[in-house]
Amino acid sequence: MHSDQKQDVRVHIRWMIRRDMPEVLAIEKECFEYPWLEEDFIHSLRQRNCIGMVAEHDDRVVGFMIYELLKTRIHVLNFAVQPSFQRCGAGSQMLAKLAAKLSTQRRTRIVLEVRETNLSAQLFFRANGFRAVSVLRNYYADTPEDAYLMQYRYRAEKTPATVPFNRITRLAG
């Protein structure tokens, strides 16, 4: 293994609680040029359909996601992994947890916006099955930057065709 490669780590993903906020804010500031403020997190999490989750490793918060449950989709509002834990599988584990909430009966896709300049996030989400489906012009209030709307679609597991069991043939055998 090269010295610049990182080892995969297992994380525990759980609901975000108030006590997590200092670590979440620290990750947010490390990861984004235009970070959310504590008030932004509180405002989002007070919405009835918004959920916050954190990824923990060795009792430390190393990542988080804020998402809203809509009628037919899950909309990721904020997603970040502490830089020292990026490319270690923590973010992919969080996305897998989110994808597990999808089904053919209810929510069939996950959507999120990524800044056009955030190439590492675009590549990360693409590697995890997301596709850019449109460009949102002048999307951000803090810059005239565009965003890519990225989407992950639920795909039902392919079950092997079952061979019908004919017990009469077996008994006559």
The phi and psi torsions of 92 (rounded to 5 degrees) equal -65, -35
pLDDT along the chain (173 residues), means of 10: 61 96 98 95 95 97 98 97 96 96 94 96 97 96 93 77 54 54
pLDDT of residue 160: 54
- Side chain identity at residue 4, one-letter code: D
- Side chain identity at residue 96, one-letter code: A
pLDDT of residue 8: 87
Please count the other Cβ atoms lying within 10 Å of the Cβ belonging to residue 71.
7
pTM: 0.85
CATH of 12-172, one of 3.40.630.30, 3.90.1010.10, 3.40.50.300, 3.40.50.150: 3.40.630.30
The phi and psi torsions of 103 (rounded to 5 degrees) equal -160, 165
pLDDT of residue 2: 37
pLDDT of residue 167: 55
The radius of gyration of the chain's CA atoms, rounded to the nearest angstrom, is 20
pLDDT of residue 171: 56
